[in-house]
Amino acid sequence: MAVRTQDARRERTRRRGTAGAVLAVVLLAPACSAPEGASTGSTAQEVGAALDRRAAAVMERDTGAYLAALDPRATSFREAQRTELDNLADVPLESWAYEVEDVTGTGADRVTAQVELRYRIKGYDTAPMSSSRTVELVRRDEDRTWYVSADRAADGAPGQLWEQGDVDVVRGARSLVLGVGRRTAELRRIAATADRAVPAVTGAWPEPWAGRVVVLVPESVEDMAGLLDSPAASYRGIAAVTTGEVGGGGRAPADRVIVNPQAYGMLGDFGQRVVLTHETTHVATRAHTSAATPVWLSEGFADRTAYLRESRTATEIAPELAEAVRRGDLPAQLPADEDFGFDGDAVTLARAYEGGWLACELIARDWGEEGLVAFYKAVGSRAERDGAVEQAMHTVLGTTPQDFTTRWREYLRARLG
């Protein structure tokens, strides 16, 4: 469909933040500390055994066994946990396990455990999704058994979708959409758009990846923020984000695309295709994205993939930069990481995404699609930023950052002037 430049600018402003890939690195501690009055290591082992029983009950969908692992005196907690287990009923789990990182306490019969919940969705996750939890346990005099008395997201860790309500599951051909409080028809439309995104991404990214995507659709932007452990104000105009752990050349753990139903719903078919193709690109490239990867490259590559099959002109895709070029206000440098912040100036954010897209367009034009992919992989193979882009430009593109920036500025003038 035709989109006038003014309409395109408004649509771009609404979705500018969609590309933000939220990258979390989980570092696991190898040992547990025992509380006072407990023999070293024995309490941690007993806590681990109690959580193993709980995990087995989740996998077996055994409500009785699940409740048996909970403190019999914690009535409200038991009811809430019964509801959570029911909320999970339709989610196709392949695995569910707890790893105890640390155990602390002030007595022999009450402890707090820092735990990593690791789970996989069957048919979609090639590696476990990780969630940091704080679990409280008590040991009752009646049988000296440890029972879970509280379970919550650890400080600074996001919550889980099934904590927000009953999870509806829609299976696409290449996608799995998990929603809470949304209409089934809406979830099916999202699945259809995600199904279309997957082959588009595979066509642009030839490296092996799962070829499937999991999309979470919470009820509101506030619930979306809860899944990201961030203020809701940061995401009100953002249609979707991708969460995951950076891979840096190895196998990356599971990713999730999280949709803001309000902002996503304001987009037309074109905008929704762009959003989900962009986010699916992050899923595909995650294993080759590391701390060395500048945001202009990861977001520019994702935007390029999203627009590759769309019939839009450069000025429609990059209206803010086009306006700047017409004023003679060419950016002096490639976008900096901080230019991509969701809580910054909207025009700066738009120009950052547009500049990253055009940088990847330039690489594909002058060095080919293979050169662009090789450059992305070369940068992401490094663990740290220092020298990574410079080295990859030298070895893959045969150029320098200074020369590339000059070419990029000329390219902006040629395509947008």
Per-residue model confidence as pLDDT tens digits over 372-383: 999 999 999 999
pLDDT value at 13 more than 60: no
Q: Would you place residue 90 in the very low, low, confident or very high pLDDT band (cuts 50, 70, 90)?
A: very high
Q: How confident is the model at residue 237 (pLDDT cuts 50, 70, 90)?
A: confident
Dist CA 59 CA 94 (whole Å): 8
Dihedrals phi, psi of 104, to nearest 5 degrees: -135, 160
CB proximity list for 174: less than 8 A, separation 6 or greater: 194, 195, 198, 199, 211, 212, 213
Catalogue the E-assigned strands of 7-92.
21-23
Q: Are 254 and 121 a contacting pair, CB within 8 Å?
A: yes
Of 301, 236, 242, 239, nearest to 273 (Cα)? Answer: 239
Residue with tokens 């990258």: 23
Q: Which DSSP string corresponds to 192-260?
A: HHHHHHHHHHHHH--S---S-EEEEE-SSHHHHHHHHTS-GGGGTT--EEEEE---TTS-----EEEE-
> Does the pLDDT of residue 117 top 70, yes or no?
yes
Domain map (residue ranges) of the chain: 5-25+165-416, 42-157
Tens digits of residue pLDDT in 340-393:
987 778 899 999 999 999 999 999 999 999 999 999 999 999 999 999 999 999
Q: pLDDT at position 32, please?
A: 38
Q: What is the mean pLDDT of the chain?
A: 88
DSSP letter for each residue of 325-349? HHTT---SSPPPGGGG-TTS-HHHH
Whether 397 shows a pLDDT value over 90: the answer reads yes
The pLDDT, as a whole number, for residue 253 is 58
Q: Tell me, rounded to whole angstroms, the distance of Cα 103 from its chain centroid.
A: 29
5 pLDDT above the threshold of 80 = no
φ, ψ of residue 392 in degrees (nearest 5): -65, -40
What pLDDT, on a 0 to 100 scale, did the predictor assign at position 346?
A: 87
Per the CB < 8 A criterion, the answer to whether 261 and 219 are in contact is yes
Q: CA 293 to CA 249: how far, in whole Å? A: 11
Looking at the domain 42-157, which fold is it? Nuclear Transport Factor 2; Chain: A, (3.10.450)
153 CB burial (10 A radius; 0-12, 13-18, 19+): middle
Residue-wise pLDDT tens digits, 179-232: 999 999 999 999 999 999 999 999 999 999 999 999 999 999 999 999 999 888
Residue 289 pLDDT more than 70?
Answer: yes
With 70 as the cut, is the pLDDT of residue 235 above it?
A: yes
Is residue 198 a contact partner of residue 175, using CB atoms and an 8 Å limit?
Answer: yes
> Higher pLDDT residue, 259 or 6?
259
Query: Looking at residues 93-99, what average pLDDT do you find?
Result: 97
**Structure tokens given for 324:** 């700047």
pTM tops 0.75: yes
For domain 5-25+165-416, which architecture applies? Orthogonal Bundle (1.10)
Quote the pLDDT of residue 245: 67
Structure tokens at 271: 């905008």
Least confidently predicted of 127-131, 153-157, 190-194, 273-277: 127-131
